[in-house]
Amino acid sequence: MSLHVVTPVIESRVLSHLAKKKVYLKLDNCQPSGSFKLRGVGTACQRAVERGAVHLIASSGGNAGLAVACSAQKLGVPATVFVPESTPQYMRTRLEIEGVTVKVSGKVWLEAHQAALNFMESKTGENIAYIPPFDHPDIVDGNASAIAELHEQIEQPDLVVVAVGGGGYFSGIAHGLEKYGWESTKILTMETHGANKLEQSVKTGKRVTLSSINTVARSLGASAVSETAFSYAQKFDIHASSVSDAEALDACIRFANDHKFLVEPACGATLAPIYAGKLKEILGEDYDNINSICLMICGGWMTDIPSGARETFSSLYT
């Protein structure tokens, strides 16, 4: 039995009106962990336990760590999640609610990752499984379940739009399109300007590693996409683009107003081509041949409403 749930697909009347095309929303923000990560990471956790793992280890300050935490709770095994100092307190608290041990180590994810590996080495003799955040065959296979569901929910879309961090969701989408016979569906990958490693990789024809990351969309903050993601990008001849942080944030706000879902800036990058009126510019000659679009609404847990905003929100109800 899968740890993730089948998420709904709805047609967005507002976005369909703006795009002048039929626009669907695949609401993976409705997963129990708050993001699509439960699909792939959950699959990896489940298969690790089936292979005998009695303890799960992860290094993630965001959605992947939360997916491991939710999975461990459902599977009945302990988990330890290493997070960098940059991980917001609300995310650390949310991880602890799931019953995992949270260890803070290093200023950035790479340092937390190394701490997780060192921890595993110290536990020799124990069957411990490290669950990577995005680059593993089990994760790609699990993320492909989104397309398996779409296959039963809507007619084949002409275009799928997906945000890219490390590339696990995109790889799963591409794998799913192949697996379920929707290879003719085009893919648009979206990033923010300060984390556009796949856009640069597609333009140069080689896998690019960013020297720095500068974006509010923390979930997109991988310095390079996986080899698997880059391979799929070449195979599918994708459209790869990016938007500014301001455009991603504006899309989040407008989406909250239009659909009453609070999503994170990474997901705002998926929404921005339509809200910012850039879809035709991005797709070029393909634009006129596309009539239906599915936006992969990846998640919303890397957002938090500060206490100072309560007054503003309260005014909406009075």
Model confidence over 191-229: pLDDT tens digits? Answer: 999 999 999 999 999 999 999 889 999 889 888 999 999
For position 318, what pLDDT does the model report? 66
Asked if pLDDT for residue 179 goes beyond 90, the answer is yes
pLDDT reported for residue 90: 86
Q: Would you give the DSSP letter of residue 125?
A: T
Shared domain check, 20 and 154: yes
Q: Give how far Cα 84 sits from Cα of 45, 169, 194, 235, Å.
A: 22, 22, 20, 34
Residues 32 and 43 in one domain: no
For the ranges 15-29, 82-96, 147-161, 181-195, which has the lowest average pLDDT? Answer: 82-96
Who's near 263: CB < 8 A, 6+ residues apart?
29, 252, 255, 256, 271, 297, 298, 299, 300, 303
Dihedral sign from CA coordinates of 261, 264, 268, 271 = negative
Q: Answer yes or no: do 20 and 59 share one domain.
A: no
Domain assignment of residue 303, yes or no: no
End-to-end CA distance of the chain: 45
Residue 152, domain extent: 9-36+137-297
| CA angle (192, 198, 199) in 5-degree steps | 65
> Could you tell me if 53 and 77 are in contact, meaning their C-beta atoms sit under 8 angstroms apart?
yes
Would you place residue 307 in the very low, low, confident or very high pLDDT band (cuts 50, 70, 90)? confident
Total domain count, the chain = 2
Inside any domain, residue 304 = no
* 97 compared with 294, residue with greater pLDDT: 294
**C-alpha separations of 30 from 37, 108, 279 in Å:** 11, 28, 26
Question: Does 79 share its domain with 141?
Answer: no
Specify the CATH number for the domain of residue 208.
Answer: 3.40.50.1100
pTM: 0.93
What is the C-alpha to C-alpha distance for residues 188 and 115, in angstroms, rounded to an integer? 35
Question: Quick one: which of 213, 128, 205, 236 has its CA closest to 166?
Answer: 213
Look up residue 137 and give its two tokens: 């065959």
**In-domain check, residue 180:** yes
Average pLDDT of the residues in 289-316: 83
